[in-house]
Structure 1
Amino acid sequence: MCEALHKNPKAADRRHVTEHVKDDDADVIVVGAGPSGATTAYYLAQAGLNVLLLEKARFPRDKVCGDGLTPRATKTLIGMGVDTGPSSGWLRNKGLRVIGAGMRLELPWPELDSYPGYGLVRTRASLDETLARRAQAAGAKLLEGVTVTGPVLDDAGRIVGVTADTHESERARGDSQTYRARVIVAADGNSSRLSVAMGLHKRDDRPLGVAVRTYYTSPRHDDDYLESWLDLWDGDRLLPGYGWIFGMGDGTSNVGLGLLNTSEAFGNTDYRALLKRWLRSMPEEWGYTEENRTEPVRGAALPMGFNRTPHYYRGLLLAGDAAGMVNPFNGEGIAYAMESGEILARTIAEALARPTREQAERVLHGYPRALADSYGGYYALGRVFVQLIGRPQLMHFATRHGMARPALMRFALKLLANLTDPRGGDAADRLINGMTRLAPNPR
């Protein structure tokens, strides 16, 4: 059991509030309508369950993100019936352009049976609303502008509902709504206040990243490759982290950089200033200058490699960023948020079909095992990887030697993007899958 887990939730979780019990009680309450929450709600509704999806903001709303989707994420969208065609506003990309050590290499997405051969770009404001509306169309009840303030516990300390504010006046009076359900899902992002209120905190032994990004008007807006910069330079000084440039197809580029907590510079770096210094090296005609910036520079944390566990605790299940589901290799979170939402919905549907509470509990306790089976070995490899690339000189050494070997870089693309065929495939697929199976898989 993780040392960050406190078995007794804070007394504040049972604070005195004026409760108005609503008729919105459901089989399942999902807190947070981002990719993980919306996907969970979608598949639960498809299974015929009564689902209440609570979102503190109102759509459309923005989230800090690179806006680039790999074929892994694309597959999850197709599975939800989302039209990913260009006529629906999606910009397709062919692969990843890697820049580093003075070299440039274009790596097409691998041809696989398990995943489509293209990725996508879409703003989070549009993507998240699309997924939330899909959940609504499937039958989930979406309530926007509802801020969950804490759990409702039974006498055994099991979560059986949530308290929530819907108006500023309610917060000022200390009033609160109460929503109750048989199962509660925390899909409320990296900070996951509901998880914290239940005593589930982030693990210090798991990686964490920080990313900053903004948008610039640029002639590169319709680039058909995602672009990753493996080393960042300020004159002759190697900067920590990695950068990206993703064309949005709307006249702008999403430009950002990330830094891992395995770097000595983590926590004492002005990330916005770092972004500006990196962009000074860009060709002027690309347009990444202050006068062309269309949005503020914003930052967010990237919770990686299961950095909050256990994923099931006293009636509460975690999904997406709340569960630390970001890929340590490449910072991708959307694919794993949606995949974990589908795994979670399948688990809940099976649990709630059982005739007794004891039988349902056994099924729910299987959710962490299902996540570990899906990602545990791969994330274990990723935790080793982030320890290595947290050192800029070592990262530059690997970049310099890897970029001159296209076959090695194609292997790296498959590994970093987690794009392999699970059965069969080529030699690279078999090697990566074998490494994943053999990696230690602590929960």
Structure 2
Amino acid sequence: MIDLLVAGGGPAGLVTALHGARAGLDVVVVERRRGPIDKACGEGLMPHAAAHLNRLGVDPPGVPLRGIRYLDGRRHADAVFRTGPGRGVRRTTLHAALLQAATDAGVELVHNDFGAVGQDATSVRMGELRARYLAAADGLHSPIRRTLGLELPVRGPRRWGIRRHVHLAPWTDSVEVHWADGAEAYVTPVADDCVGIAILTSRRGGFDGHLRQFPALRRRVGGHAHGPDLAAGPLRQEVSGRRRGRVLLVGDAAGYLDALTGEGLGIAFTTAELLVDCLADGRVADYDRRWRQVTRRYRLLTAAILRAGGSAPLRRTIVPAASAFPTVFTGLVNRLAR
């Protein structure tokens, strides 16, 4: 019998598989799509996420990131990472590196649809495959989460992300976060001749329409060739729990607040390792509690920034406050970065 079946071959699923292989488990990943998979993503790895990949022997080419810079058109605030640089990496480049690492580790990849999920006291089935446990890493709108009855309704405003690659040399060695009323634009260098721009907003419309809210950024990137736009959302996903019997949720499937802190991949990698630790220790019942423990700092800080950003008067104070209190701003950034 398979020890660990992973539904979803994105970064969360592949890192789960890599940790499983390192723990001596027989791991099979099921993913319908082939080859490096692209998606709307900020593409910035915080320092602890880059370090996590390094521990797994995964070193995707990219651009070192010195820190985070907030801008609002009049002021700016800089926070330098204290534990070493992060890395800007194109999503397809990251995925290709993880696919190669999983193959080298002996992980079996099955290109197929997931199939129906069922379980009993000793195993879980997905289609024709049977395993001791199933890690559902099937993304933000996880069908498995919904099938298991773990999805909750989300109240309040919903946010979406739109990403575009612009082909020009990076002008910054940090992730720039440009703030406007009702939207942020995240600029991440991902190659010597490419920057990624991800816009997060609760308003409808295309990339160019939203870019008009950031005149300085629009002037800088206007007229340069760019790739296709990719969108994702709604971003916020609520769950009642992250385990149902022998099925455990990981990555975006385990619930998501927002992309504004750039912690999606870091949280996915950390909780993927936690999931495998719980299996190896025979303490699967502890997974949800321990998941909430290791993500608590991220969830509290992200929720606080979201609340501030949801109020127009408070939103306008975010960059001025970060500029006026650089030590506090740097401390908050590094609490997330470690």
1:123 to 90, 95, 99: 90
- AA at the equivalent of 1:396: R
Name the structure 2 match of 1:340.
271
CA distance in 2, matches of 1:296, 1:193: 27
1:63: how far off? 1.4
State the AA in 2 paired with 1:228.
Answer: V
Partner of 1:113: none
Distance 1:214 1:377, change over 3 A: closer
Instruction: Find the residue that maps to 1:366 and give its secondary structure.
Output: helix
Determine which of 129, 136, 142 is the counterpart of 1:179: 129
Question: In the TM superposition, what whole-angstrom CA distance separates every residue of 1:186-245 from its partner, at most 9, and x where no partner exists?
Answer: 00100111221222214425986421110112233x63222111x22xxxxxx3121111
Equivalent residue in structure 1 for 2:187, among 236, 240, 245: 245
Q: Distance in 2 between matches of 1:70 and 1:38?
A: 18
Q: Give, as a single letter, the amino acid of the residue that structure 2 aligns with 1:213.
A: R
CA distance in 2 between counterparts of 1:381 and 1:225 reads 20
The correspondence of residues 319-334 of structure 1 with structure 2, limited to 5 A, is 319-325=250-256, 330-334=261-265
Q: 1:33 to 1:185 in 2, by over 3 A?
A: same
Counterpart residue number, 1:227: 176
Following superposition of structure 1 onto structure 2, how do residues 223-372 of structure 1 map, counting pairs within 5 Å?
A: 223-229=172-178, 231-232=179-180, 239-259=181-201, 266=202, 268-282=203-217, 284=219, 286=220, 288-289=221-222, 291-301=223-233, 303=235, 307-325=238-256, 330-351=261-282, 363-372=283-292
TM-score by length of 2: 0.90
Q: Secondary structure at the match of 1:292?
A: coil
SS of aligned partner of 1:278: coil
- What is the aligned counterpart of 1:136 among 96, 99, 103? 103
Change (3 A) 1:125 1:310: same
Equivalent in the alignment of 1:160: 124
Alignment counterpart, residue 80 of structure 1, candidates 38, 53, 56: 56
Mapped partners of 1:401, 1:185: distance in 2: 41
Residue among 138, 148, 160 paired with 2:114: 148
Question: What TM-score, normalized to structure 1?
Answer: 0.70
Aligned amino acid, residue 144 of structure 2: L
Q: Quick one: which of 321, 328, 333 aligns to 1:401? A: 321
CA shift in 2, pair 1:375/1:390, >3 Å? same
Q: What SS class does the counterpart of residue 53 from structure 2 fall into? A: helix
Q: Secondary structure at the match of 2:188?
A: strand
Alpha-carbon displacement from aligned partner over 1:83-111 (angstroms, at most 9, x marks no partner): 35xxxx2211211222126012332112x
CA deviation vs aligned residue, 1:357-400 (integer Å, no higher than 9, x gap): xxxxxx21110111122123541443243122112331112322
Tell me, in whole angstroms, the C-alpha distance in 2 between the residues paired with 1:328 and 1:300. 11
**Residues 130-139 or 30-39, more deviating:** 130-139
Distance 2:242 2:188 in 1: 33
**Secondary structure at 1:365's aligned position in 2?**
helix
Query: Is the contact made by 1:93 and 1:121 (CA closer than 8 Å) also made in structure 2?
Result: yes
Following TM superposition, the consecutive aligned residue runs of length 4 or more in structure 1 with deviations greater than 6 angstroms are none
Q: How far apart in 2 are the matches of 1:55 and 1:207?
A: 32
Alpha carbons of 1:206 and 1:120: their partners in 2 closer, same or farther (altered >3 Å)? farther
- The equivalent position to 1:197 in structure 2, one of 147, 151, 157, is 147
Does residue 70 of the first structure (1) align with residue 1 of the second (2)? no
Matched-pair contact (CA < 8 Å) for 2:21–2:105: yes
Contact 2:46 2:337 in 1 (8 A): no
Specify every segment of 5 or more residues in structure 2 that has no aligned partner in the other structure, as ranges: none
Q: Which amino acid aligns with 2:173?
A: D
Give yes or no for contact 1:207–1:383 (8 Å, CA) kept in 2.
no
Note the C-alpha offset of 1:280: 4.4
Report the structure number with the largest CA radius of gyration: 1
Rounded to whole Å, the distance in 1 between the matches of 2:195 and 2:134 is 38
Query: How far apart, in 1, do the equivalents of 2:266 and 2:158 lie?
Result: 18
Aligned-pair distance for 1:303? 4.3
Would you say the 8 A contact 1:187–1:320 is kept in 2?
Answer: yes
Q: Distance in 2 between matches of 1:52 and 1:323?
A: 20
Query: RCO higher in 1 or 2 (8 Å CA, sep ≥ 6)?
Result: 2
Pair 1:92 & 2:64 matched: yes
Q: Which residue of 1 aligns with 2:293?
A: 373
Structure 2 CA distance for aligned equivalents of residues 205 and 130 of structure 1: 37
Partner Cα distance (1:411, 1:302) in 2? 30
Q: Secondary structure at the match of 1:253?
A: strand
| Structure 1: runs of 5 or more not aligned | 1-24, 111-115, 164-177, 233-238, 260-265, 352-362, 421-443
